[in-house]
Structure 1
Amino acid sequence: MNFQDLVKVERADWFIDIAFKTAGKVSDDKRSDVTKTKASKLSKSRTLELMKITTIQKVLIKHLKNIVEKFPSIDELPDFYQELINCTLDKDELKKSLGGVSWAITRIGLFSKKYSGKIKAGREIITINSQRKEYYGRICSVLKQIDKFLVVIEKSRRIMKSYPSIKTNIPTIAIFGFPNIGKTTLLSKLTGSTPDIQPYAFTTKGLNIGYIKKSYKKLQVIDTPGSLDRFDKLNNIEKQAYLALKHCAQKVIYVFDLTEPFPIEDQLELFKKLKKQLAKEQEIVVYFSKSDILDKQIITEFIKNSKLSNAYFNAELLLDKLKHIYL
């Protein structure tokens, strides 16, 4: 799922300005052709005013429909994105706002039909001009009424553009553990990708994602930073990580770093917390980072004392195992 294509949502005045300017330009461009005809002044005026109404209707409905149609149907999104929306923005307010834009599309269509009929029936130029001005006023009123909805939609769009682009329909592995303990390096070794590696803890800009490929098959791997905080205390990236673990990952690779950038006690506590929050079918694999600078005996004793199973400290062996299972 990718939210990068959501178009920027402008304010009401922007839509009014572009629609009316376009209508004026179309009318001006056609004016010489219309005035050359043998029709009466009344008929010529009627033709030009109808052009303006038709143009305004087309421009506004095109732009407003683009907003509504580009936004995904929230209730049909995968569980990961639905829960992410629930914890990052007001879903009901967004749905109401999108409904408000749909209402405006309908009203613009109705007013355009109504005032086109009035102008066609007009018997005096002054009456036709008056009807066109009244139509302009009605259209402005409709757009002003949805300005607050446009603000909500644009705010939501900016938030949703920050969501990670996770494929929810392919096998997924989450690499989990504290920041800066080798998760991103492992991601690079497994997938061959070059993720954004930050030099300090808690500076992750987003979830790093890579893919293990074999012929036409793909295995998605997500670098998910962990925290001992409660969910409501997590930052946005940590919340995304938690939800990716919950809804997307079939297997989790928990990364230990025995060089202790974080105390071993905290790493074990986070590991126990992870085991409690995962579903029974979600398997945990343990990986030891920076094993090249550690005595292998230290790792072996830690595995034994902590009663760990399914543990790796060689990324190539882990990669072979993952390919064998999923690809």
Structure 2
Amino acid sequence: MFKEIPRIDIDEIVDKAFRNAKKKALSSKKNINEIVKEKESIRVTVAGETLAESLFKVVDRYPSFDRLPPFTRELIDIIADIDKLRHNLGALSFAINTINSVKIEYIKNIRRASSPQDASFLRKQCYGRYISILKQVEKNIKFLNNAREKLKNLPSINPDLYTIVIAGFPNVGKSSLLKALTNSEPEINSYPFTTKGINVSSFEYNKRKIQIVDTPGLLDRELSYRNPIELQAISALKYLAKLIVFVFDPTESCGYSMEDQMNLYNEISDRFIGIPFIKVLNKADLKEWGFKENIKGIEISAQEGANIDALKNNIQEILFNYFEEEVDYFEKDRN
């Protein structure tokens, strides 16, 4: 989406605009010596249109923020601040309109010029006005260029898919579980609000693609330790998650006690009210290390693949109920 937005360099687009204008004027079939005023009008027109088009490509290729899926909109807001994007895009739109107004004004003035020398002077004056307009929005262009760099690598998480989010403290085996559930290596994406990659993979259920996301750096420690951007990113996950698989490590070899893990589970479940949770007790292959069984959940070994089928069956039951409700809803809507 954002990779298609061009980067703006004022010197580059000015050079392109004036060069195109000169070529267009020289290509006139009429005798240049006799139509200096016509030549200068052409140069003013082509230069103005080239500059306006360069700015318009940026404004036009930004999506309508209000029409984006809530998760994507939240991400863009975290990364680049939608209000600031709107403000700076508005400044470019104003610049486009101003360039077009100046273009029309100078075409009229050149046509009324009393001599070829006056026409050339007016064309140069118009060029100066164009550059002045661009200088006025230089800060806005710089902001949008920076925003583009941040947004162009927006991770390939599809907010329209049914999404399972894996949560739990670091080192409890979330990445191993992701691989075990999907039988594939996850795609690792970068987010600007976490130093760790977001792992994304998928599997098919009844010809539907089910997306699984592991979010290291987000749902892996107490919310009280979060900064505002991380909290907003966690809130964005509310729009994405249809099911949360919370992974416990009852051996506590991850470095966190079961009490701490349960506290994190309670915090996250309180934040994601209305979303179903599955409790997974991982590292069942390491029971000789000590395996605290004071929490009910599905015992598995993601590393060894033990009891993964039981977890998949549980997930499929939830998927079945979800999609059956979806079908019932649409059938009632038709009636």
Tell me the residue number matched to 2:15.
17
Distance 1:53 1:320 in 2: 69
Distance 2:17 2:32 in 1: 28
For residue 253 of structure 1, what is the amino acid of its counterpart? V
Shift of 1:319: 2.5
Tell me the residue number matched to 1:230.
224
For residue 249 of structure 1, what is the amino acid of its counterpart? A
Contact 2:78 2:229 in 1 (8 A): no
Equivalent residue runs for 1:38-187 within 5 Å: 39=31, 41-43=33-35, 45-187=36-178
Equivalent residue runs for 1:243-262 within 5 Å: 243-259=235-251, 260-262=253-255
Question: Aligned with 2:98: secondary structure?
Answer: helix
| Percent of aligned pairs with the same amino acid | 30
For residue 262 of structure 2, what is the amino acid of its counterpart? L
Tell me the residue number matched to 2:260.
266
Contact 2:71 2:236 in 1 (8 A): yes
Distance 1:175 1:204 in 2: 18
For residue 269 of structure 1, what is the amino acid of its counterpart? N
Shift of 1:128: 1.2
- TM-align CA RMSD: 3.0
Of 269, 276, 284 in structure 2, the residue corresponding to residue 291 of structure 1 is: 284
Higher RCO, 1 or 2 (CA under 8 Å, sep at least 6)? Answer: 1
For residue 272 of structure 1, what is the amino acid of its counterpart? N
The unaligned stretches of length 5 or more in structure 2 are 301-306, 321-335
For residue 173 of structure 1, what is the amino acid of its counterpart? I
Contact 1:49 1:132 in 2 (8 A): yes
Distance 1:98 1:108 in 2: 15
Distance 1:197 1:109 in 2: 45
Distance 2:160 2:152 in 1: 20
More deviation, 167-176/140-149: 167-176
Distance 2:205 2:130 in 1: 56
Q: Deviations over 1:9-56 (max 9, x none)?
A: 32433332332233234445x2xx64xx4x47232x233323322322
For residue 93 of structure 1, what is the amino acid of its counterpart? K
Shift of 1:223: 0.6
CA change 1:82–1:196 in 2 (3 A) is: closer
Distance 1:232 1:59 in 2: 47
Contact 1:253 1:287 in 2 (8 A): yes
CA change 1:215–1:47 in 2 (3 A) is: farther
Distance 2:299 2:2 in 1: 37
Distance 1:189 1:257 in 2: 16
Q: Deviations over 1:183-242 (max 9, x none)?
A: 1221122223312689xxxx8533211122246411111112322143742775x853x2
Contact 1:177 1:224 in 2 (8 A): no
Question: Aligned with 1:111: secondary structure?
Answer: helix
The unaligned stretches of length 5 or more in structure 1 are none
More deviation, 12-21/225-234: 225-234
Distance 1:197 1:67 in 2: 28
TM-score (norm 1): 0.81
Shift of 1:174: 0.4
Shift of 1:144: 0.7
Distance 1:73 1:92 in 2: 12
For residue 138 of structure 1, what is the amino acid of its counterpart? R
Shift of 1:143: 0.6
